[in-house]
Amino acid sequence: MPDLVGKSRLWPGERFAVRRGLTRWAATVAVERRAAPAPLALRGGAAIVGGMVLAGGHRLHVRAGGPRPSAATPAVLVHGVVVSSRYLVPLGVELAADRPVLVPDLPGYGLSDPPRGRPSLAALADAVIACADAAGHESVALVANSFGAQVSVEAALRHPERVERLVLLGPTLDPAARSLLAQYARWQRCVPDEHLSVLPVMARDLADVGPLRAMRLLRIMLDDAIEAKLPRVRCPALVVRGGRDRVCPATWSERAVRLLPRGELAVVPGYAHMAHYSGVLAVAPILGRFLAR
């Protein structure tokens, strides 16, 4: 499959598939405080609210919503390398119509407390499962974007009995671009295809992480050979790629699916690396059908 599938959303007549109020919410969440995290209840969607929980010995900020009790498998949304739960909340709103949803800030991110010691992929993966524990969920589906896919694959290998399904949205790291410069250049090429309201959200996220921790996390991302781990993932897995995603090009997404024993691919034309944000109304139904099987 070729790259650059679908027109850019900036093409005349092309619109982002988002609910009304997203830009206003993004401006609000970019200046939120721990004492008053910004809720999100876009028109027609379920409410997502935030609060602090004790998970695995960490005080973490978790945004949650959805029906309780519910027979549907809960979904835990896992963010990327220098972002937080904030840019996943619009997707959480859509998924929460049918199932419980958790959107945590992992240790050191967003409104969560910093971790003890240096970060590691294993510690981040364990924190994801600890959030599920704190919410009383025995098994979950992990829905992850970018570096969050690496965290979630690690969680699926460390806790296979807890992870029922995986959704990898624009997964990193393409082995053909295992350098910080290559990743930065690819991400910059995605920016024109993203809903620009995500930029102040990401600026706040980067400020929360801090430059030193951000560099350590980027090193973890670059050092992780996810391609060697995918063949050991035994649960069903869906790779979702924006048709204009340069961070996760077609060659890498197709290879990732081949490496996954129970993998499948969905392409969302016209969107880039954050299709779950910029085209949430196009992405959410794809995820909903996969999670409901």
The verdict on residue 102 lying in a domain is: yes
Interval 46-104: pLDDT, tens: 678 888 999 988 899 999 999 988 899 999 999 999 999 999 999 999 999 999 999 99
**Residue 3 is assigned to a structural domain of this protein:** no
Residue 195: per-residue pLDDT: 96
In a domain, 247, yes or no: yes
Give the Cα-Cα-Cα angle 162, 167, 168 (nearest 5 degrees): 120
Distance from C-alpha of 52 to C-alpha of 139, rounded to nearest angstrom? 21
pLDDT at 116: 83
**Owning domain of residue 77:** 22-291
Domains of the chain: total? 1
User: Taking the C-alpha atoms of 48, 53, 56 and 59 in order, what is their torsion angle to the nearest 10 degrees?
Assistant: 110
Q: Domain for residue 281, yes or no? A: yes
At 209 the pLDDT is 95
Residue 262 domain-assigned (yes or no): yes
Instruction: Please tell me the distance from the alpha carbon of residue 205 to that of residue 198, in angstroms, as a whole number.
Output: 10
Task: Examine residue 127 and state whether it is found in any structural domain, yes or no.
Answer: yes
What pLDDT is recorded for position 10? 81
Domain assignment present for 63 = yes
Task: Say what the pLDDT of residue 288 is.
Answer: 97
Q: Residue 192: give its domain's CATH number.
A: 3.40.50.1820
Q: CB under 8 Å to 52, separation ≥6 — which residues?
A: 34, 59, 60, 61, 62, 111
Q: What is the mean pLDDT of each run of 10 residues along the chain (293 residues)?
A: 86 90 92 79 69 90 90 97 96 94 96 91 97 95 98 98 98 96 96 95 96 96 98 98 97 98 98 98 97 94
In one-letter notation, the amino acid at residue 246 is R
* Burial (0-12, 13-18, 19+ Cβ within 10 Å), 172: buried
Which residues, in sequence order, are CB contacts of 178 under 8 Å at separation 6+?
222
Q: What is the reported pTM?
A: 0.95
Query: 197-226 burial, b for 16+ CB within 10 Å, e for fewer?
Result: bbebbbebbeebbeeebbebbbebbbebeb
- Residue 224 pLDDT: 98
pLDDT at residue 11, rounded to an integer: 85
Q: What is the DSSP secondary-structure string of 84-147?
A: -GGGGHHHHHHHTTTS-EEEE--TTSTTSPPPSSS--HHHHHHHHHHHHHHTT-SSEEEEEETH
DSSP 73: P
Residue at 2 is within a domain: no
pLDDT of residue 45: 62
